[in-house]
Amino acid sequence: MTSDLDAYLETTSDRRLASYLEFLRIPSISAQPEYAGACRQAAEWVAGQLHGMGVENVEVGETGGHPIVYGDWLHAADAPTVIVYGHYDVQPVDPIELWETAPFEPFVKGDRVIGRGSADDKGQIHIHLRATEAILATRGSLPVNLKFVFEGEEESSSVHLDAWLEANRERLSADLAVISDSGFFDGNLPAITVGLRGICYIQVDVVGTAVDLHSGQFGGAVQNPANALAQIIAALKGPDGRIRVPGFYDDVVALTDADRAAFAELPFDEERYRTDLGLPALVGEAGYTTLERRGGRPTLDVNGLWAGFQGEGAKTIIPAHAHAKISCRLVTAQDPNTIFELLRAYIMEVAPPGCVVDVRSLGGGRPSLTPTDHPATQAAARALEATFGTAPVFIREGGSIPVCASFETILGLPVVLLGFTPPDDNAHAPNESMSLPNHETAIRTVATYWDELAALPR
């Protein structure tokens, strides 16, 4: 069937690719202060697009950091109101030498657009922009009410988003939030992410003396902070992969038989996964499969570790201090603050004597889990199947999208994670890419999704 929308999209494809590439050329790296101007430029670019297609109340909202772009279209009487979230900021480009070309000079290679932000997440904002434009251009109205929230600090912990959501709670009243910042499953299978892990990040500092000591003169008489830190870390996790912090698993909602069946049904080649990583074996918590460990169970990992002499050759010292950065990925219903307190108490308890141990939080985010049978999730599944020709798989991602919990807890909204990037998109890495067919079909998916939502019984 060729609809007006299809016809419109066919005749506008060159212009659409040009606007996509134009957006990608703005180097909106949120973490590096020298790109603050570019972040603002990207925000203004998005605002200009929204305004140009007839979205109303468009503003580049100040946050104290990079701005948040807001805009709405609220003329669909008796239809649901949906918040659409994406982020226009991108990751830094290092290591730059591994890019085929300059990260902010995007180009098309085969059926991919290569460039920083092509997938994460400018490509997905662009899908929503062009979908809205196409529907308004062909029908003159949208089937649902939309409120766009496009932020510029997702890649640097969304520092100002929660306060902005709090301050704009009334204006953001809605039935649902759709976050497009996720992707498809292995084999480019359409997917809806229903679970995201949270995070609790800590730093452990172990301090002995003011300066390094001579290990001959003092060795045997004093605590060695590096040894002490190693003892602490070794106490955190058993050889069975279980985290030994008392109370750590108390709030973990156990995987049901249905959950485990859903994991088992995913097309996943464990052997290829292992060989792709170049590892002799995969390891993890006893009693769980690799996918369950990755998406459905909490973790504890050392992210960084430093102490003492690290130059060439030998230097006989007892280091003055030792440090570790450690993070836990959390699952429902673990609370990052509670987990921090449990970790700190346990580390203090197992810390050997003769040194001073400090544990501090470097941030956290809540896990989230959307019921697969939620009508809005089911409607998204129908829209994906109708446009991509394949029913989506429901996946639990190992990563964290803390903004998801922000929409759930601050605005009290159900969240649907509807993202379209291919699994091999190299997000955050050199040669980030987006599949153009995914981008093009996703525009139709979004349009179909709004129709599906409008058709739900109210």
> Does residue 151 belong to the site contacting Zn ion (CB under 5 A)?
no
CA distance 114 to 334: 37
For Zn ion, which is the closer residue by CB, 133 or 432?
A: 432
Identify whether the C-beta of residue 346 lies closer than 8 Å to the C-beta of residue 326.
no
Q: How far apart are CA 334 and CA 73, in angstroms?
A: 37
Nearer to Zn ion, 121 or 259 (CB): 121
Q: From the CB of 121, what's the least distance to Zn ion, in Å?
A: 4
Question: Residue 363: enclosing H or E segment and its boundaries?
Answer: strand 356-365
* Phi–psi pair at 383, nearest 5 degrees: -65, -40
Least distance in angstroms from the C-beta of 106 to Zn ion = 17
Q: Hey, which residues between 118 and 147 contact Zn ion (CB under 5 A)?
A: 120-121
For residues 152 and 204, what is the distance between their CA atoms, to the nearest angstrom? Answer: 30
Pull the structure tokens for residue 18. 């040009």
Q: Which stretch binds Zn ion (CB under 5 A): 77-85, 92-100, 115-123, 361-369?
A: 115-123
127 and 194 in contact (C-beta within 8 Å)? no
Q: Kindly provide the b/e burial profile for residues 265-298, where b requires at least 16 CB atoms within 10 angstroms of the residue's own CB.
A: ebebeeeeeeeeeeeeeeeebeebbebbbbbbbb
Q: How far is CA 279 from the centre of its chain?
A: 25
The DSSP symbol for 253 reads: P
Of 173-181, 223-231, 286-294, 353-361, which segment contacts Zn ion by CB under 5 A?
A: 173-181
The correct pick among 89, 151, 181, 292 for binding Zn ion (CB under 5 A) is: 181
Q: Which stretch binds Zn ion (CB under 5 A): 75-83, 116-124, 157-165, 210-218?
A: 116-124
> Which of the residues 72, 89, 120, 259 is marked catalytic?
89
SS3 (DSSP) at 139: helix
Nearer to Zn ion, 432 or 452 (CB): 432
Catalytic residue status for 56: no
Query: How far apart are alpha carbons 387 and 125 in whole angstroms?
Result: 19
Count CB neighbours of 451 within 10 A: 16
Minimum separation from the CB atom of position 148 to Zn ion (A): 16
3-state secondary structure of 57: strand
In the complex with Zn ion, the residue whose CB is nearer, 26 or 355, is: 26
* Catalytic option among 72, 121, 154, 155: 154
Give the other-Cβ count within 10 Å of 149's Cβ.
26
The helix (run of H) or strand (run of E) holding residue 83 is strand 81-87
Residues 331-350 that bind Zn ion (CB under 5 A): none
Helices (H), 25-75: 36-53
Nearer to Zn ion, 229 or 404 (CB): 404
| Number of residues forming the site for Zn ion (CB under 5 A) | 3
Residue 132 beta carbon to Zn ion: minimum distance, rounded to whole angstroms: 20
β-partners of residue 179 are 85, 417
Minimal distance in Å, beta carbon 425 to Zn ion?
11
Phi, psi (rounded to 5 degrees) for 428: 70, -5
Measured from the CB atom, the residue of 246 and 423 that comes closer to Zn ion is 423
Instruction: Report how far residue 403's alpha carbon sits from residue 435's, in angstroms, rounded to the nearest whole number.
Output: 25
Stretch that binds Zn ion, among 41-49, 68-76, 178-186, 294-302 (CB under 5 A): 178-186
Q: Which is nearer to Zn ion, 30 or 370 (CB)?
A: 30
Please report how close the Cβ of residue 155 comes to Zn ion at its closest, in angstroms.
7
Q: Closest approach of Cβ 119 to Zn ion, in Å?
A: 8
Single out the segment in contact with Zn ion by CB under 5 A; choices: 180-188, 298-306, 386-394, 403-411: 180-188
Q: Is 205 a catalytic residue?
A: no
Within positions 243 to 302, which residues make up the interface with Zn ion, using CB under 5 A?
Answer: none
- Just list the catalytic residues: 89, 154
Q: By CB under 5 A, name the binding residues for Zn ion.
A: 120-121, 181
